[in-house]
Amino acid sequence: KGIDREFYLLFSIFDENDSWYLNKNIEAFTGDPSKVDENDADFKESNKMHAVNGYLFGNLPGLAMCKDDRVSWHLIGLGSHYDMHGVHFQGNTIDLRGMTRDGLALFPHLSGTALMQPDRVGTFKVVCRTFDHFVGGMKHLYEVSSCRNTTQAQQQHGAMRVYYIAAEEVEWDYASNKSSAPKIYNVSSNEERILRKTMVLFLGQAIESLFKFGKAALITSISCFNLGPLLHAEVGDSVLIVFKNKASRPYSVSAHGIEEVAALGKIVLSVSGEINTYRWNVPARSGPGKTDPNCITWVYYSTVNFVK
C-alpha cells in the first residue's frame, strides 16, 4: 500500500564448480578440454558468479522508475559465509527502519526492505561494495526518469559552506619505536633520529601550507591522515569544496548521501598540482531519519579508482 514500484534483488555467489553440467561446459566451451585443470585455483575462481538475480556486470534488466515514485527494495542474501554483502545505492538515499542510509549490510539467508523516493533523474549504480564481489561483477544500474510533471527541484535555502582540502602523500614510519624489537633493522640511532625529525617537519609544513592555502577555511580536524577533515553542514545548505591535489596521482572528491552538482553529470578529476571546486547540496533526504540521532555522518573519498 502506498508503493509505486517494488524490486526484489537476490545477492548470491553461484559456484558453477558444483554444477552437474561442469564437464559438459568444459567440453563445449574450451578449445582443448584435456588441458583444463579442474583443481586449478584460477579456474575455480572463474566459475564463481557474483550475481544479483543471476546477472553480472550491469546486465540486470528492469530496474526503472519515475522521479518521486515511492519505491520498495526487497534485498535477499543467500549462500555461504562468503555471501556477506555491503549493498550501496548511488544517487539517492534509502529509509531503513526509520534511519537515513544509502546502503545496508546483507548476510546469508537474511533479507531486508529499504524504501526510496528518488528525487534525481538519471542512471545510478546499485552495487555490492565487498571488494571481491564488486570486482567479480556484482554491480548494476537503476534508472530514474521524469515520467510526469512532478514537483520542482528543491531550492537550497541554507548557508554556503566553503572548505579547503588538499591531498598530500606522506611516508609513514610504521615501526617508529624499535627499542624492544630484535636488532635486524641495520639503521643507526642517528639515522633513525634524522628520519623521525624529517617526518615531523614534513607534516608540519603540510599543515602550514594547507592553512596558507585555505586562508579563512574552517579546518575542523587533521589528526588522522587516512581520514580527511570533518566537514559540517545542515539540511538546506550547500557545500563548496576547493580541492588541491598535491599528490602524484589523479584524485577527486565524492561523497555519499548528498547531491553532487557536477559538470555535465560527471565527477571532475583533479590531476597532480591542479585545483578544482566541487559543490554538494544537502537536501532533506540527506538529513536524519525518524529513528536517527540529531546528526548523521556521510563518508567522502576519491572515486578515481574505487578498488584501490
Active site residues: 128
Q: In this structure, is the dihedral angle defined by the CA atoms of residues 208, 209, 213 and 218, taken in order, positive or negative? A: negative
Please provide the DSSP assignment of 168-230 as one string.
Answer: ------TT---TTS-S-S---HHHHHHHHHHHHHHHHHHHHHHHHHHTT------S-TTS---
CA nearest to 113, candidates 88, 83, 76, 62: 76
C-alpha cell at 81: 559465509
Question: Number of C-alpha atoms within 13 angstroms, CB side, residue 268?
Answer: 18
Give the cell for residue 142.
537503476
The total number of residues shown for the chain amounts to 308
Cell numbers at residue 99, please? 534511519
DSSP-derived 3-state class of residue 17: helix
Nearest Cα to Cα of residue 8 among 112, 158, 103, 139:
112
CA 23 to the chain's CA centroid: 39
**Three-state DSSP state, 161:** strand
Contact 123, 146 (CB under 8 A): no
H or E element in which residue 114 lies: strand 111-116
